[in-house]
């Protein structure tokens, strides 16, 4: 391993102005360090205003937000849920939490996300209770087609926008197009609260209900009374303070992520066998991670190991859910698109703290593999 400066795939990046500490300090000064408080309420409101959503519930993780979305649309034991296969396991795990049955849908090369034609094919075989589409790596799915299919079949659509906060599909923020949208503020996301998530929706009553469930379903009584199953899923007031500060620099982070992608495209796009991740005319991604696929002699592991030897972090593309040992027994609708993207793909370092010198170092190492 090289003793050169460590470059991360995507690490937390606090605001230069220290916005986060102002809100955290306020929480300490007022002793509101326990769950709920001003920061939680304001973070929900400020994020809703930013993306144009009617309501939001600040939760402990993006996974919790998906779980609550499934519960909100009535998914229960034995129900079918269509789920994009090319994603992280947090998209699919909450389906199992609810005792439901996932059916995985393949991607297309045009978006890397759920293929609308295969979604239609899945509807010919099953009657699902919900559909979960993902905007992988900040790339928007083909939402017009997907929403129309779900509307025709009268099935609610949940957007896993965990990786795509700040991405615009035809001028509208991802996460606000379906019935429910999910964001993650994990440490590697475009903005972070160290851990946490948000569920957004145009259905204010359902979001109010989600807040109730996520606060242990505590009834309005003088004593602790619970008429429904509850969950300990609410975001803390301190964590929400970090989120409020991070939200102020979201546009700056998107701009830096775009600059990183464009540099990779300029420097690496001409190398034999390299294709950049697809950016469509109707998609304005947040470029959370800059990804490539390799079709020549140089393979993903070659790039990963070359960078690793120089103390630089990169990763394989998500391994599709239908290829995961835990989910192997569930149905899959599609071919080999997700599998090929996984087999051929690499997530390049996309940390917004990288300097121009860092980026030059990365592309120089990768270019050596072609000599």
The ranges assigned to domains in the chain are 19-247, 250-368
C-alpha dihedral sign at 266, 267, 273, 279: negative
- Quick: pLDDT tens for 180-204: 999 999 999 999 999 999 999 999 9
CA separation for the pair 98, 205 (Å, rounded): 21
Bridge partners (DSSP) of residue 53 are none
pLDDT at residue number 35: 76
**Per-residue pLDDT tens over the stretch 24-61:** 999 999 998 877 899 999 999 999 999 999 999 999 99
Tell me: pLDDT of 371 over 90.
no
pLDDT at 133: 98
* pLDDT tens sequence across 228-239: 999 999 999 999
Check pLDDT > 60 for residue 1: no
Mean pLDDT, the chain, rounded, equals: 97
Helices (H) and strands (E) in the chain, counts: 12, 15
CATH topology of domain 250-368: 3.90.1150
Mean pLDDT of 327-331: 97
User: Is residue 362 predicted with pLDDT exceeding 90?
Assistant: yes
Q: CA 359 to CA 259: how far, in whole Å? A: 11
What is the pLDDT averaged over residues 11-19?
95
pLDDT of residue 36: 85
Residue 13 pLDDT exceeds 70: yes
* pLDDT (average), residues 306-323: 98
pLDDT at 153 over 80: yes
Mean pLDDT in residue range 156-182:
98
- Determine the longest span between alpha carbons in the chain, in angstroms: 73
Per cent of the chain over pLDDT 70 is 99
CB count in 10 Å sphere of residue 172: 14
Tell me which residue has tokens 């009617």: 54
DSSP code of 312? B
- Give 2's pLDDT tier (boundaries 50, 70, 90): low
* pTM exceeds 0.95 for this model: yes
Instruction: Tell me which fold the domain 19-247 belongs to.
Output: 3.40.640
DSSP 186-241: BTTSSS--BS-EEEEES-HHHHHHHHHHHBTT--SSSS---SS---B-BPBHHHHH
Cβ–Cβ contacts within 10 Å for residue 335, how many? 13
């Amino acid at each position: 391993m090289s003793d050169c400066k460590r470059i991360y795939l995507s690490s937390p990046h606090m605001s230069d102005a220290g916005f986060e500490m102002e809100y955290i300090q306020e929480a300490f000064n007022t002793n509101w360090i326990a769950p709920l408080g001003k920061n939680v309420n304001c973070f929900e409101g400020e994020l809703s205003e930013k993306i144009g959503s009617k309501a939001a519930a600040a939760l402990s993780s993006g996974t919790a937000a998906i779980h609550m979305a499934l519960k909100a649309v009535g998914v229960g034991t034995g129900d079918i849920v269509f789920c994009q296969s090319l994603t992280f396991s947090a998209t699919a795990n909450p389906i199992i939490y609810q005792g439901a049955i996932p059916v995985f849908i393949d991607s297309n090369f045009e978006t890397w996300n759920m293929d609308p034609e295969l979604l239609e094919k899945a509807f010919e075989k099953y009657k699902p209770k919900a559909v979960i589409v993902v905007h992988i790596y900040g790339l928007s799915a083909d939402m017009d087609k997907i929403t129309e299919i779900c509307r025709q079949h009268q099935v609610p659509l949940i957007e896993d926008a965990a990786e795509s906060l700040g991405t615009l599909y035809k001028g509208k923020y991802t996460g606000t197009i379906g019935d429910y949208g999910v964001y993650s503020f994990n440490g590697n996301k475009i903005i972070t609260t160290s851990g946490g998530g948000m569920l957004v929706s145009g259905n204010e009553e359902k979001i109010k209900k989600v807040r109730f469930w996520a606060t242990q379903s505590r009834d309005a009584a003088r004593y602790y009374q619970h008429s429904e199953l509850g969950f300990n899923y609410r975001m803390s007031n301190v964590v929400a303070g970090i989120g409020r500060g991070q939200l102020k620099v979201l546009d700056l982070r998107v701009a830096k992520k775009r600059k990183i992608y464009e540099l990779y495209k300029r420097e690496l796009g001409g190398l034999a066998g390299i294709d950049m991740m697809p950016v469509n005319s109707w998609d304005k991604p947040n470029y959370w991670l800059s990804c490539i696929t390799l079709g020549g002699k140089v393979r993903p592991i070659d790039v990963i190991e070359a960078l690793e030897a120089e103390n630089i972090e990169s990763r394989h593309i998500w391994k599709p859910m239908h290829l995961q040992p835990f989910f192997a027994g569930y149905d899959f609708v599609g071919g080999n698109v997700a599998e090929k993207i996984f087999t051929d793909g690499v997530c390049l370092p996309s940390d917004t703290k990288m300097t121009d010198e860092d980026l030059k170092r990365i592309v120089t190492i990768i270019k050596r593999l072609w000599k």
